[in-house]
């Protein structure tokens, strides 16, 4: 299948699907009944169940490599197998690798190969600090999505992101830069739902570009306000990511059913907010 991130994502939006499930399996939280002596098998069994339970409700899946890297080579294998499984059973659902990469351009060439060519991710999150020139290895991949961190969901985000330069806050300046980087129409931004006012400000700067919005659930983000302020002029253009509140909705044997129920609840809340 010829995979183009924005085409895949827009197709999901057309179906009214805006929820992204973060596949971030902490080994200690996985139900005992799923665990085996193999971390790779444990992660993959758990992820498969979550994917099967939610694949018709989501606009994307978003694994964060940190949870896999922490488990060594078995974790890396589980990440690869997870992406392969999504492509096999939900080929119309894009995969966003939440790697937050960002280095000098020479290094980013290999980061892009890792994400897109080896793991088969459809999009990646990146750090803007090294500037647009350094991000070109990602930006030049016109069939892949590139989500630039603009206003992160953590409490300490204000330390740098709210700094004022020439009358504008840093996250506003970065937002404006992403518009210039969007020559291939494949750039989006990341703004946490823990800062809904800033979502509206960023939307006004980036126009109809996609906004990936983490923070609903365990971090206490405001879903309703985020949807209201984050949708674009077409009533689309946003991705609500939820990880822990979905995948660990239950730590018992009914974890997959609980994940589906939570996803349906969030989907309904998004529709209501629209």
Q: pLDDT tens-digit profile of 98-157?
A: 999 999 989 999 999 999 999 999 999 999 999 999 999 999 999 999 999 999 989 899
Kindly report the average pLDDT of the chain as a whole number.
Answer: 96
Which DSSP helix (H) or strand (E) runs through 21?
strand 19-23
DSSP 182: -
Q: What pLDDT was estimated at residue 1?
A: 55
Cα(200)–Cα(232) distance, integer angstroms: 10
Closest by Cα among 177, 201, 191 to 241? 191
pLDDT for residue 2 is more than 80: no
* DSSP letter string, 47-109: HHHHHHHHTTTEEEEEE-HHHHHTTTHHHHHHHHHHHHHHHHH-TTS-BEEEEEE---HHHHH
CA distances from 9 to 183, 219, 228 (A): 18, 25, 19
Q: What pLDDT was estimated at residue 52?
A: 98
Q: Which two tokens stand for residue 61?
A: 């899946």
Task: Return the axis-axis angle of helices 223-230 and 255-273, rounded to nearest 10°.
Answer: 50
Output the CA torsion sign for 77, 113, 157, 241: negative
- Set 48, 100, 168, 169: catalytic member: 100
Q: What pLDDT was estimated at residue 160?
A: 95
Q: Which two tokens stand for residue 28?
A: 């200690």
Q: What is the pLDDT of residues 195-245, one digit of tens each?
A: 899 999 999 999 999 999 998 876 778 899 999 999 999 999 999 999 999
Q: Which two tokens stand for residue 98?
A: 């939440």
Protein fold of 5-273:
TIM Barrel (3.20.20)
Q: Which two tokens stand for residue 255?
A: 């974890």
Rounded to the nearest angstrom, the gap between the alpha carbon of residue 31 and the centroid of all alpha carbons in its chain is: 24
Average of pLDDT values for 4-8?
98
Q: Which two tokens stand for residue 260?
A: 């589906």
Q: What is the pLDDT of residues 12-65, one digit of tens each?
A: 999 999 999 999 998 899 999 999 989 999 999 999 999 999 999 999 999 999
- 100 noted as active-site residue: yes
Q: What pLDDT was estimated at residue 221?
A: 81
Domain ranges for the chain, please list them: 5-273
């Amino acid at each position: 299948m010829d995979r183009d991130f924005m085409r895949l994502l827009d197709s999901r939006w057309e179906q009214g699907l805006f929820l992204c499930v973060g596949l971030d399996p902490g080994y200690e939280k996985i139900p005992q009944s799923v665990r085996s002596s193999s971390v790779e098998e444990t992660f993959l069994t758990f992820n498969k169940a979550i994917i099967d339970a939610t694949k018709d409700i989501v606009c994307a899946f978003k694994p964060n490599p940190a949870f896999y890297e922490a488990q060594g080579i078995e974790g890396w294998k589980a990440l690869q197998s997870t992406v392969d499984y999504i492509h096999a059973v939900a080929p119309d659902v894009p995969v966003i690798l939440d790697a937050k990469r960002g280095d000098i351009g020479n290094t980013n060439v290999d980061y892009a190969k890792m994400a897109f060519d080896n793991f088969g991710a459809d999009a990646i999150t990146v750090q803007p600090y090294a500037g647009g020139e350094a991000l070109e290895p990602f930006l030049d991949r016109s069939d892949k999505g590139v989500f630039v961190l603009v206003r992160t969901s953590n409490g300490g985000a204000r330390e740098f992101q709210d700094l004022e330069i020439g009358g504008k806050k840093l996250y506003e300046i970065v937002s404006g830069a992403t518009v210039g980087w969007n020559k291939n129409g494949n750039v989006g931004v990341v703004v946490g739902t823990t800062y809904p006012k800033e979502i509206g400000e960023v939307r006004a700067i980036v126009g109809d570009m996609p906004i990936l919005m983490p923070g609903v659930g365990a971090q206490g983000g405001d879903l309703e306000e985020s949807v209201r302020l984050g949708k674009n002029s077409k009533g689309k253009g946003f991705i609500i990511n939820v990880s822990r509140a979905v995948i660990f909705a239950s730590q018992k044997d009914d974890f997959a059913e609980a994940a589906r129920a939570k996803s349906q609840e969030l989907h309904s809340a998004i529709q209501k907010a629209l």
